[in-house]
Every structure is written in structure tokens, then in C-alpha cells.
Amino acid sequence: MVLRNKPEVMKVLCLLTVLVSGFACSLPRGGPDYGGETVARVDLERYMGKWVEIASFPAWFQRDCFCTTAEYELRGDHVSVKNSCRRGSSRGELDVATAKAFAIAGSNNSRLKVQFFWPFKGDYWIIALDDHYQYAMVGHPGKEYLWILSRTPEMPENVYLSLVETAREKGYDVTKLRKTLCAD
């Protein structure tokens, strides 16, 4: 989830966000029951800190990213977000994007809206979370984005496979999942 802060990228982002927002506004609205799509509850204080991306659906805004991380910090009424990666290789230029995230009322902090620039916000749904807050999986209601996160750069294979199965059960096309590289 890393973005370059260049004018041409910002123009594309604005256009994409307007298109996605317009599509989202045309969808039928449900009540507060999200059908088990997200975890029941997230303790935001425990969720804060650094997460390492283990795998994700390839996203255009993460193209050519290595060693992707996300850092979260509670700041009053929102969560401060800092996403970073190395472009081109594990020794490439550090690319950083900052944002604010806001918990959605009634979701017990399992659903957030992330805002990289005003007024547009994207969905951030925590769909799996380890009891000890060491592993997490973040998805999107449209199932076009998916991230598997860990507190450490490596994840036991059985944990990874379990998260992949959870994603499959929730309707994600796990054939699109790619492990994130942190070596050349």
C-alpha cells in the first residue's frame, strides 16, 4: 500500500478514487452485520506498531515494491498510517506514503476507512487476526485487495497456509496472492 508523492500519480489516484467512490455509492447498503467478513473485535492499542507484508494481491500502487511494511500509531480520534517499501530491489529507494485511518462505528474496530488524501477514503477490513496480534490479514469488501501481515519478516508456513484458507473461505481469489519479496 505504498504510493509515490508525484503529481502524475496523484492525478491517477484522484481519478481512480472518484471512479471507485462512484461505484461504491451505487451499491446497496447493508446494516451493521457484515456476515463474518471481519474479525469480531480489534484492540487498536495492541494492533499498533510495525507490520511486515508477507503476501498480497499485486496492486498497481505497489508495483516494483520490496520489503513492504506498515506502521500504525494511535493519535486521538484516528490512526496514523505510514506505509513504506523499497522500489526496484531490497536496497532501492525508500518510498513512503502516509495516511489517516478511522474506525467505523459499530465494527468494534475491525473495519477502518483509510485516507491518503482528502476527501477520499478506502476500506481496510481486518478479516483475520492472531490472538496475540502477531499475524493479521486485511481485505476489502470488493475482494480486490488482500494483505497478509506479520510482526516479523518471516511467517511459519502452516500459519501462512491457514490464512490463505481463511481468505479462500471468505471468497477471495487466492490464486492472485503473491509473496512479498525482501531480497533481490
Alpha-carbon gap, residue 2 to 140, rounded angstroms: 16
Alpha-carbon gap, residue 103 to 136, rounded angstroms: 17
Instruction: Sketch out the chain's domains with CATH numbers.
Output: 7-25+40-179 (2.40.128.20)
Grid cell of 19 as nine digits: 471512479
Whether residue 70 has pLDDT greater than 50? yes
Q: What is the pLDDT of residue 159?
A: 97
State what percent of residues in the chain have pLDDT above 70.
Answer: 79
Q: Which residues contact 149 (CB under 8 A, 6 or more apart)?
A: 51, 52, 53, 54, 70, 135, 136, 137, 138
Q: What is the pTM of this model?
A: 0.79
